[in-house]
Amino acid sequence: AQSVAQPEDQVNVAEGNPLTVKCTYSVSGNPYLFWYVQYPNRGLQFLLKYITGDNLVKGSYGFEAEFNKSQTSFHLKKPSALVSDSALYFCAVRDTGNNRLAFGKGNQVVVIP
């Protein structure tokens, strides 16, 4: 079964500094990888996905993620964090062989003014 790990519970970063949220995955086949963001009292919003091709994926709100097959990682990045980026971020993976999307436990990002 596929799974993802988000090793940090909370990421604190100063406004204007680079932001990185880590994700590693485990699948038996080729992975489809996703990042979602959840603002307080809201549903999850899709940020970006990796299906195939270029290892650097660009998404919404200035976020990007780098797929690294050898390290089985899909870290989310933003060059310059904003206070409005403070939210809960979820990594998810789907094995191309089945229909289920496995979510990580989420990372709380706090951007300090």
Partner 1 sequence: NAGVTQTPKFQVLKTGQSMTLQCAQDMNHNSMYWYRQDPGMGLRLIYYSASEGTTDKGEVPNGYNVSRLNKREFSLRLESAAPSQTSVYFCASSVLTSGPYNEQFFGPGTRLTVL
Both tokens assigned to 16? 């204007």
State the minimum distance, in angstroms, from the CB of residue 44 to partner 1.
4
Q: Is 96 left (phi over 0), alpha (psi -120 to 50) or beta?
A: alpha
What is the residue whose two structure tokens read 């094995």? 95
> Is there binding between residue 70 and partner 1 (CB under 8 A)?
no
Q: Which stretch binds partner 1 (CB under 8 A): 17-25, 61-69, 70-78, 96-104?
A: 96-104
DSSP string, 31-78: EEEEEEEE-TTS-EEEEEEE-SS-SEEE-GGG-EEEEETTTTEEEEEE
Nearer to partner 1, 59 or 86 (CB): 59
Out of 23, 24, 27, 34, the only residue in the binding site for partner 1 (CB under 8 A) is: 34
Each residue 38-57 as x (binds partner 1 by CB under 8 A) or -, in order, gives ---xxxxxx--x-xx-----
Nearer to partner 1, 13 or 31 (CB): 31
Q: What single letter denotes the amino acid at residue 81?
A: A
Q: What single letter denotes the amino acid at residue 27?
A: V
Contact residues: partner 1, CB under 8 A: 9, 32, 34, 36, 41-46, 49, 51-52, 90, 94, 96, 99-101, 103-106
